Amino acid sequence: MSRGRKRYTLEQQYDLVVEQIEEAERTLKDLKKRKRDLVEQRKEQNLSELSEMIEKTGMSIEEVKDLIQSKG
């Protein structure tokens, strides 16, 4: 048998909304931190891959910089 919905007072509704907002803000803060961490990890990975490519080609950093500047 189905029971009816619980009726909340205005104060209870307000408290529930405040709690939901605080939880959403915590979640957003955590997601933004995770995003920053992932961006940093991706940047480090890209730099590592670039460094490996430079080593494999035997080029110097100056040669790579000159090559990039000549393309732009």
> What's the pLDDT score for residue 6?
83
> What's the pLDDT score for residue 38?
98
Considering the entire predicted model, what is its pTM?
0.69
Tell whether 3 is covered by a domain. Answer: no
* Number of domains the chain is built from: 1
Q: Domain residues for 33? A: 10-71
User: Model confidence at 3, in pLDDT bands (50, 70, 90)?
Assistant: low
pLDDT digits (tens, 9 = 90+) for 21-63: 999 999 999 999 999 999 999 999 999 999 999 999 999 999 9
CB 61 within 8 A of CB 69: no
CB 68 within 8 A of CB 58: no
Tell whether 60 is covered by a domain. Answer: yes
Could you tell me if residue 54 is left (phi over 0), alpha (psi between -120 and 50 degrees) or otherwise beta? alpha
Question: What b/e readout covers 7-38, taking b as 16+ CB neighbours within 10 angstroms?
Answer: eeeeeeeeeeeeeeeeeeeeeeeeeeeeeeee
